[in-house]
Amino acid sequence: MDKLNNFYKNKKVFITGHTGFKGSWLTETLINFGAKVKGYSLKDSKISFYKSFVNFKKVENSFGDVSNYNKLKKEIEKFRPSIIYHLAAQPLVIDSYKEPHKTLKSNTTGVINLLDVVHKSRFVKSLVIVTTDKCYKIKKKIKFYKEDNELGGYDPYSASKAAAEIIFFPYIDLLAKKGIWAATARAGNVIGGGDFSENRIIPDCYRAIKKNFLILRNPDAVRPWQHILDVINGYLLLGMNLYKFKKKFCGAWNFGPDQKNKSVKNLVDEFNKNLSKKILIKVLKKKNKAFKESNYLQLNSKKARKFLKWKTYLNFSKGLSMTASWYEEYQVNNLSKKITSKQIKTFFKIK
Ligand SMILES: NC(=O)c1ccc[n+]([C@@H]2O[C@H](COP(=O)([O-])OP(=O)(O)OC[C@H]3O[C@@H](n4cnc5c(N)ncnc54)[C@H](O)[C@@H]3O)[C@@H](O)[C@H]2O)c1
């Protein structure tokens, strides 16, 4: 942990999608490490949540679409970062069915634009592009998906991320020739405070605290849940190792939990257990078949464990108790800067 802390101190880091759920945690962690951070996101509804739990005054905030090549290039060139994290995307499967064109456009054009800007830059040293575990082609025979398994995607979101991965491949060498070291990071379903997206189970649980009941449509769906800080740790290790050790770390990396995957029902029960006022949970007998999403997905993360020395520190129960505390504090005054900072400092052992 100390290594990360020291490495990122004073480094210039550019983050796309910095106002989103993952982006906010990454931004706040890097601020705690003493990095100089600039973010680039849409001016969308995420901003008010971002402002409620990130020390945004310590960040250089810029706003624009990743599909806007000139704007993205201008903002990166003004800042001259040595490390870039690309998280900006339309990240929801259900929304991707509703708006396939928007999803495919932002999730692929953003990567194409960023790769070109980075390729033409003279200051970037490492680049991490965040995709997802859903970039794999689902095959009944595969129990744990490895980095070299076939890519695919039935829904527009998964397809857009598989496409982003394919677009990235030729750039590994193109960038390496210029001394820029790049990788993609594939993680599963992330839990933690600060997620307010529609149609995600933890934000649904938070909204249920107010209503006092929650309807579960796919209680048996199994996912590789993991806490946001474990995932952020993986991204930061990857960025640091690319910067320091170069070519050896280029390519794709899985980041999945080491415990057995749990169901949506397990997750909600554990979250509920940690609330001071319990939610009433109703399970719908009829499954939600309106939107197809794979029911079972597990990642093989041996590569990250072996070479990045990455591991998950927060098991299922610990991750959910931290998440429930976060939302309980947020519910009181719509501000969670204190608990966010405390969770980051405890996790990364920052004094
Ligand atoms: N949250 C998860 O469980 C999860 C799991 C796997 C992968 N991911 C991936 O992680 C990344 C971040 O996800 P998240 O959950 O934080 O999403 P989020 O919706 O909370 O945040 C998305 C961020 O991207 C920005 N953005 C979206 N479209 C943009 C565009 N066209 N131009 C510029 N900015 C744009 C938004 O303004 C916001 O800052 C995404 O790439 C997503 O696919 C997330």
pLDDT score, position 103: 97
Determine the distance separating the centroid of ligand 1 and the alpha carbon of 92, expressed in angstroms. Answer: 8
Given the CA of residue 50, which atom of ligand 1 is nearest to it? 39
Give, using CA atoms, the residue closest to atom 15 of ligand 1.
21
**pLDDT tens digit sequence for 28-83:** 999 999 999 999 999 998 898 999 989 999 999 999 999 999 999 999 999 999 99
Given the CA of residue 42, which atom of ligand 1 is nearest to it? 37
With respect to residue 319, please indicate whether it lies within any of the assigned structural domains. no
Q: Is residue 274 pLDDT above 80, yes or no?
A: yes
Q: Is the CB of 159 under 6 A from ligand 1?
A: no
In whole angstroms, give the CA distance from residue 112 to residue 351.
40
In whole angstroms, give the CA distance from residue 245 to residue 225.
30
**C-beta of residue 127 within 8 angstroms of C-beta of residue 183:** yes
pLDDT score, position 294: 57
Site to substitute for ligand 1 among 14, 19, 41, most atoms within 8 A of C-beta = 41
**Average per-residue pLDDT for the chain:** 92
* Side-by-side strand order, sheet with 83-86: 60-63, 36-41, 12-16, 83-86, 126-130, 181-187, 251-255
Q: Please indicate whether residue 273 or residue 260 has the higher confidence score (pLDDT).
A: 273
Determine the distance separating the centroid of ligand 1 and the alpha carbon of 141, expressed in angstroms. Answer: 30
With respect to residue 250, please indicate whether it lies within any of the assigned structural domains. yes
Q: Is the CB of 191 under 6 A from ligand 1?
A: no
Q: Is residue 191 pLDDT above 90, yes or no?
A: yes
pLDDT score, position 2: 66
**pLDDT tens digit sequence for 130-172:** 999 999 999 989 989 999 999 998 899 999 999 999 999 999 9
pTM: 0.96
With respect to residue 218, please indicate whether it lies within any of the assigned structural domains. no
With respect to residue 107, please indicate whether it lies within any of the assigned structural domains. yes
Instruction: Give the residue numbers spanning the domain of 9.
Output: 2-190+225-258+296-314+337-347
Q: Is the CB of 90 under 6 A from ligand 1?
A: yes
Q: Is residue 279 pLDDT above 90, yes or no?
A: no
Report in angstroms the alpha-carbon separations of 193 from 53, 131, 319.
10, 21, 10
Rg (CA), the chain: 19
With respect to residue 323, please indicate whether it lies within any of the assigned structural domains. no
**C-beta of residue 77 within 8 angstroms of C-beta of residue 133:** no
Q: Is the CB of 158 under 6 A from ligand 1?
A: no
Q: Is residue 283 pLDDT above 90, yes or no?
A: no
Q: Please indicate whether residue 182 or residue 199 has the higher confidence score (pLDDT).
A: 182
With respect to residue 174, please indicate whether it lies within any of the assigned structural domains. yes
CATH number reported for the structural domain that contains residue 164 in this entry: 3.40.50.720
Single-letter code of the amino acid located at 320: L
Determine the distance separating the centroid of ligand 1 and the alpha carbon of 18, expressed in angstroms. Answer: 8
What count of residues does the chain have? 351
Tokens of 186: 């594939």
With respect to residue 162, please indicate whether it lies within any of the assigned structural domains. yes
Q: Is residue 285 pLDDT above 70, yes or no?
A: no
Helix (H, G, I), strand (E, B) or coil at 286: coil
**pLDDT tens digit sequence for 211-258:** 888 888 788 888 889 999 999 999 999 999 999 988 999 999 999 988
How many separate domains does the chain show?
1
Q: Is the CB of 165 under 6 A from ligand 1?
A: no
Q: Is the CB of 88 under 6 A from ligand 1?
A: yes
Q: Is the CB of 160 under 6 A from ligand 1?
A: no
Q: Is the CB of 93 under 6 A from ligand 1?
A: no
With respect to residue 303, please indicate whether it lies within any of the assigned structural domains. yes
Given the CA of residue 133, which atom of ligand 1 is nearest to it? 6
Determine the distance separating the centroid of ligand 1 and the alpha carbon of 16, expressed in angstroms. Answer: 9
Q: Is the CB of 42 under 6 A from ligand 1?
A: yes
pLDDT score, position 45: 86
How does residue 293 score in pLDDT terms, banded at 50, 70 and 90? low
Given the CA of residue 200, which atom of ligand 1 is nearest to it? 3
**C-beta of residue 183 within 8 angstroms of C-beta of residue 128:** yes
Q: Is the CB of 234 under 6 A from ligand 1?
A: no
